[in-house]
Structure 1
Amino acid sequence: MSFSEAIFKVVDVFGCPYYKKRDEFKISGNALLLEHNKGSKFISTAIIDLPSNRRECRILIAELTKILVEHERVDRIPDRIISCGECHSEIRLEHKKGASIALVEDIKQHSTDVTTIASLLSNFSIFRTLDEVSLRDFVSLLRLRKYTRNECIISKGEPGRNLYIILSGLVNVVDEDGISITKLRNGEVFGEMSLISGDPVGATIKVVEPTTVLFIRGQDFLKVLNRFPPLQMYFAKLLSRRLAKSNILISKEFSSGMTGTLAQMPPVELFQTLNYNLKTGTLRLNLSKGPASVMFRGGAVVQAKYGRKRGKSAFFAILSEKTGRFHFEPGLPEQELAMPELGMFMELLMEGLRRVDERVEV
């Protein structure tokens, strides 16, 4: 069975207190009139995903629902522009049929067999970490989207929304000056850095040639990592490789000690860089609630302190901090060198990020 969404993007705002330009509304479901011998019944399964951290405007929700009722299914909604101006302000939304999204069952035009699709995807490096049963489960969470040449999939500075896997095509990773950093092809992944760190997207991804991607929504990403432990190691290696490339100079400076701010390099990146480069020493931090420290031995975390907290609880608390200063001191005394690890590094990191994410949701 296929399933699709229609995306309406805000293209103009005139005094609206709720929404901003480029906000997106996603509509899914059906609106059907069923006739039988006892009469007719109207059934609507409309689901409207609002832009994150935005209030709901019931007038606009009603307008979007009316469009679904008019066309019965989201895949029948044509290209169109709608306006909402019932409260002495106005926004204009644009819908392009080419932006419709389908579940991964639609990758193969005539196949609705998840097992078959899982087999087709098993050669991608991200999926090789999963056994057959886990792969089928993970595939059921994926969605598919197609982009045309010169489209931007994500833009630098935006909040991270999805994890993307390139199914076919070619994209360019460009910096704020439009200079190409690298190109990504079939099977490669992007979007994970901002989802894990919580920071804005660090680069723009622009389509070079028609590209089809699989994606999973950001709000489900950390839950997926917890559900499929083998993916934790995959992303640990992926993040480490990317951090190694972007922080070569930083890594060299760590060898002799380095000072910086969490605005420049948040805790998740600091920890990843020290882990990947197998550093031994103490990361000292001056944070909102006082001094903190994390000890590394060969990249593994052996101790953490923050206020009255020790061990894992201190590590998790430091991970949630957004502002402060840090300094790395190479080397550890013999007694610290003999301390056991607090746990597997990636498991610590994922558990900490999950806790941060839960606090934000509350």
Structure 2
Amino acid sequence: MEYRNAIFIITEERSCQIYNVGEEFKVEQNALTGPEGKPVCLVLMNELLKALVEKKSMQRFSPMGPQRVKFECGGCSGMIRFEFKKEKDFATLQMKLLAVAEQKARMRHLDRFYDVLRGLDIFEPLNDDSLRDLSAQLQLKVFEANKVVLKKGEPGTSLYIVLEGKVAVIGDEGQTLSEMGVGKIFGEMSLLSGEPITTSIHSREKSRLAVLSSKDFKHVLNRYPVLQVFFYRMLVERAQANTMRAGTISSGMTGRLAEINPVELFQLINSSQKTGKVQLTLDDGSADVTFHEGELIDARYGELAGKEAFFALLAKSEGNFTYTGGLTAEESTLPVIGGFMGLIMEGLRRVDEQRS
């Protein structure tokens, strides 16, 4: 029997560096093609072609009836098993049409959310064709409300993109630390750093997530080097935020107010008795806050100055900041603007009154 038109499917995988369970290899007129967007493993291809050339039986008989024969590839550090997925009476044209139909079916669920993917900063450097190729690597997962998506302490296995719904970052005491909606990405830090997951993620409501496995994540970075820059910058920013939360800050540090709010940032500078300036870029302009040995000596925000500028900045939750150490000779002579903790308490009282 000649298997000129056939499909093999991976049924088991252990530490294979390239392929996943469920991925298929198509033989058409004795030409072999693998999963789209994946590099070719010559060892596996050789095993598949050997099975075809030697015309090995694709079935064996057992007390349970006919069983598909499993083939194994263990030519490198990993191991995968695959079996013949019978393609009966399919002509070449029919196989091509089948392949097109399968590809369309796989992409249909992501096409619905293409605009979400297109609008993400991470994918902005990719043209439409590249983004669609990358989307072919994504799997769609649906989580009902209040389900565990990621659990703290477990190894990171995938990157997640919220396509629909909302998820929450959950603290050790079960409290909600933050929420993420459509377009947000999580899980990438464990993949980049190799460290276990640091916080648990739960679905706040029914959510649809695009999932990229760690294996495919590495292939994506290799295929699209421009994405490496994005993730490297994300890794640096997150590391800086963690450093600041640990109680240290150094000149040149940058970050987002969404990760460390102005109150925490200013208290960190005060407790560390730092001398320098925080420059903030906000949606309605820029601001400067100057410290000398941890004490506030100047603040500028639009038309506001001194205490009023400082109080107004405490309410900000969106924007970027940069801390630069050192002052000019003139700045070093500025007097302290009141006791720092007194200013913080007064500013928080005003924020609460405004929100009320």
For normalisation by structure 2, the TM-score amounts to 0.41
Q: Larger C-alpha radius of gyration, 1 or 2?
A: 2
For normalisation by structure 1, the TM-score amounts to 0.41
